[in-house]
Amino acid sequence: MAPPAEVLGVEHVDLTVTDLARSARFYDEVLGALGFRRVPHATYVGWANAHLTIGLRAASSASRQAPFDRYRVGLHHLALRVRTRDDVDRLHDFLAREGLTILDPPAEHPEYGQRYYAVYFADPDGMKLEAVHFPWGYWRKVQSEGRDERPRYGNPS
């Protein structure tokens, strides 16, 4: 039986933030440096490139008091795939030059796959963001063979 639809990718991601103006300045800077353009919308702030739209929405007044915790139900982090390792390095240099919060500098992370290379940083609310270069050939192999040979922690099922 054929699936009802084939997912081609992520169309958009909306993030809820405590201070819309502050976060809009941060994402204008970072997403602008990554080639996104600001997209006008009546009910939220957004940016888009040819592959993805990222939107910001203001948190309700009740939830503005709670700090972001990526281990609560919901968003853990947002990873953006870039074309080359040099792109990861250039983004890191940009983040450092702009004084933005870098959680982990560029490095290989073999626990996520062979040649997985990423920089981790945070937005003004402390949401973890990632720019990663992970050679597409690896995922093509995983998709064609139907298995991922990376070591797993905890229950493998």
Quote the percentage of the chain above a pLDDT of 90: 57
What would the pLDDT profile of 69-85 be if each residue is shown by its tens digit? 777 768 889 999 999 99
79-to-41, 96, 132, 133, 156 alpha-carbon distances in Å = 24, 19, 7, 10, 23
pTM above 0.85, yes or no: no
DSSP 8-class letter at 44: S
Question: Cα 133–88–104 angle (5° rounding)?
Answer: 100
Quote the CA–CA distance of 146 and 39 in Å, as a whole number: 37
Instruction: Give the three-class secondary structure for 53.
Output: strand
Helix/strand/coil (H/E/C) assignment for every residue in 113-136 = CCCCEEEEEECCCCCEEEEEECCH
Quote the CA–CA distance of 31 and 38 in Å, as a whole number: 9
97 CB neighbour count, 10 Å cutoff: 8
What would the pLDDT profile of 3-55 be if each residue is shown by its tens digit? 787 776 788 999 999 999 999 999 999 999 999 999 988 888 999 999 999 99
Domains parsed from the chain with CATH numbers:
10-61 (3.10.180.10), 77-144 (3.10.180.10)
Q: Which residues of 51-72 are buried (b: 16+ CB within 10 A; e: fewer)?
A: ebbbbbebbeeeeeeeebeeee
pLDDT of residue 157: 43
